[in-house]
Amino acid sequence: MCGIWALFGSDECLSVQCLSAMKIAHRGPDAFRFENVNGFTNCCFGFHRLAVVDQLYGMQPIRVKKFPYLWLCYNGEIYNFKQLQKQFGFEYQTLVDGEVILHLYNRGGIEQTASMLDGVFAFILLDTANRKVFLARDTYGVRPLFKVLTDDGFLGVCSEAKGLINLKHSTSLCSKVEPFLPGHYEVLDLKPSGKVASVELVKFHSCKDEPLHVTCDTVEALPSGFDLETVKSNIRILFENAVRKRLMAHRRIGCLLSGGLDSSLVAAVLLKLMKEININYPLQTFAIGMENSPDLLAARKVAAHIGSEHHEVILNTEEGIQAIEDVIFSLETYDITTIRASIGMYLVSKYIRKKTDSVVIFSGEGSDELTQGYIYFHKAPSPEEAAEESERLLKELYLFDVLRADRTTAAHGLELRVPFLDHRFTSYYLSLPAELRIPKNGIEKYLLRLAFEDSNLLPKEILWRPKEAFSDGIASVKKSWFSILQDYIDQQVDDLLLEKAAERYPFNPPKTKESYYYRQIFEKHYPGRSSWLPHYWMPRWVKATDPSARTLKHYKSATQE
């Protein structure tokens, strides 16, 4: 996990512009480099490093003797760099996994490069010999990337939007900072002036398609067919493989553990594999919640079962409320459910950074979208519509859960790893018949639970524990976190302000005091940037006015069982 930043064709003094690069310093607390491009005095790269692999040669932009005309700035992890080296005979000059991007590009161009990378990534690749700039981002947008391109060819690229919004430019043209789309690459021509012109934006991978890099995966062809035993076995094999490949790190590995199915499965498989490869330190797991909250109790049970070194962070209401503004600044969104869920994750990440030496943090993001874990999936009119909704949620992850997971951990210099969003695992799960993937017997994620039922990885009551929204699970059973937030915000926002909300904020107008409060803070830091959120996250097929699971009729908390 790092922070990348680059400018092409800047009219302003670069020493002034580079102050913007410091806005993302939290993403790479270990080192910083600012480098001009030879022959292009108005082009430069900025890089904030979190050293996870190759402590000696890991600084960026990466340049190697073999390709002196290539400059690479990337944020991510490429899990198959050794397999690609073996398959194509690449001669690496560093231990940095991202070096493979240079070799792939030299061998087969940008399309093959993006398609053959098994991992999470956002990168800027400059080819001065052919005067091209390439941008690319992984399938689900696990690693963030923003860009701004003016009509006269000034390009700014950054891991977070906050590194671009204060850039200076001579023209008064509207410069729209926007997220770079996941699963895409863009080709831009680099002019002698250092300015650029976009040539094409190409989608190189869809979540349903089996990735090209499957040809050099450590797991070979799986048995075909949809009989239940085959499917269950394939799910276990691919999920375990997803966790195994993510063990690549020279820093200590930890795991978020809410006590729900997803994080518990990740933690259990992770600890099992760490033992197998003789990692000689205990796995630290981390839970956050109010005293005796459902998540804390469940996480305690899982940690005892798997034998992790477990840490509990007790959330107090005042601390949570005080963190709201910092969280919104980090997130760059005003989405209600994203903010609610981010507060706990932000505070547990803060604890990990201050109190432990774990840096590479595993988490369960992506499972709810992939395996139909949200409670509203019980209301899906048909298996086919449920499958369509699952794909829609996966495509929008970069706006919601993946955004939350990246920003809350990156704010504290941690690197997130999300095995449920492994390309091969997701494409296989989405290839299964729609009927197999829907909730069954009133239980969401039924197939995933069934696949691990006989594994003894988790206690049965955890494997079959009903869904808790993260923002609800961290609260006491008596009062949910979102209702505690609402009580506080009711005192902060006047009724009259809410009545005129649509006039003040015509795009995505706030409908509640809570959403108004968040929007105010967002607009304070990012005025006029409301289009970064196309729409609020809300459940489908139900008449919901609030995104919290606790407002849905199907919801069953521990106190009701």
- Residue 146 sits in the same domain as residue 244: no
Residue numbers annotated as active site: 2
- Residue 287 sits in the same domain as residue 181: no
Residue 80 CA to residue 218 CA, distance in Å, equals 9
Residue 84 CA to residue 81 CA, distance in Å, equals 5
Residue 366 is part of a domain; what is its CATH number?
A: 3.40.50.620
Q: Judge whether 225 lies within some domain.
A: no
If you write DSSP's letter for every residue of 385-449 in order, what string do you get?
HHHHHHHHHHHTGGGTHHHHHHHHHHTTT-EEE-GGG-HHHHHHHHHS-HHHHS-BTTBTTHHHH
What is the DSSP pairing of strand 196-203 with strand 3-8?
unpaired
494 belongs to an annotated ligand binding site: no
Using CA atoms, how far residue 118 sits from 77, 87, 211, 479, 558, in Å, is: 9, 14, 8, 42, 39
- Residue 183 sits in the same domain as residue 256: no
367 belongs to an annotated ligand binding site: no
Q: Judge whether 256 lies within some domain.
A: yes
pLDDT digits (tens, 9 = 90+) for 443-483: 999 999 999 999 999 999 999 987 655 555 555 556 677 77
Q: What is the pLDDT of residue 368?
A: 97
288 belongs to an annotated ligand binding site: yes
Segments of the chain scoring below 70 in pLDDT: 1, 51-58, 171-174, 467-479, 548-561
DSSP letter at 29? B
Nearest to 142 by CA among 429, 417, 347, 352: 417
User: In percent, how much of the chain has pLDDT > 70?
Assistant: 93
Q: What is the pLDDT of residue 207?
A: 94
Contact 266/306 with Cβ under 8 angstroms?
A: no
What is the DSSP pairing of strand 31-37 with strand 155-158?
unpaired
363 belongs to an annotated ligand binding site: yes
Asked which of 158, 187, 203 is the last residue of a domain, the reply is 203
- Residue 171 sits in the same domain as residue 256: no
- Residue 189 sits in the same domain as residue 305: no
Q: Which residues contact 24 (CB under 8 A, 6 or more apart)?
A: 3, 5, 48, 158, 159, 160, 162, 163
Q: What is the pLDDT of residue 60?
A: 81
Q: Judge whether 492 lies within some domain.
A: no
pTM to 2 decimals?
Answer: 0.94
Asked which of 151, 177, 203 is the last residue of a domain, the reply is 203
Contact 101/117 with Cβ under 8 angstroms?
A: yes
How many domains does the structure of the chain reveal? 2
Q: Which residues contact 391 (CB under 8 A, 6 or more apart)?
A: 207, 208, 430
Buried b or exposed e, range 241-271, using 16+ CB within 10 angstroms: bbbbbbbbeebebbbbbbbbbbbbbbbbbbb
533 belongs to an annotated ligand binding site: no
Residue 244 CA to residue 517 CA, distance in Å, equals 42
- Residue 187 sits in the same domain as residue 334: no
Q: Judge whether 507 lies within some domain.
A: no
- Residue 420 sits in the same domain as residue 474: yes
Q: Judge whether 521 lies within some domain.
A: no
Please list the residues that pair with 187 across neighbouring strands.
134, 200
Q: Judge whether 487 lies within some domain.
A: no
Coil, strand or helix: which one is 169?
coil
Query: What are 520's two structure tokens?
Result: 């105010």
pLDDT digits (tens, 9 = 90+) for 110-157: 999 999 999 999 999 999 999 999 999 999 999 999 999 999 999 999
Residue 21 is part of a domain; what is its CATH number?
A: 3.60.20.10
Contact 339/518 with Cβ under 8 angstroms?
A: yes
Supply the range of the domain harboring residue 187: 3-203
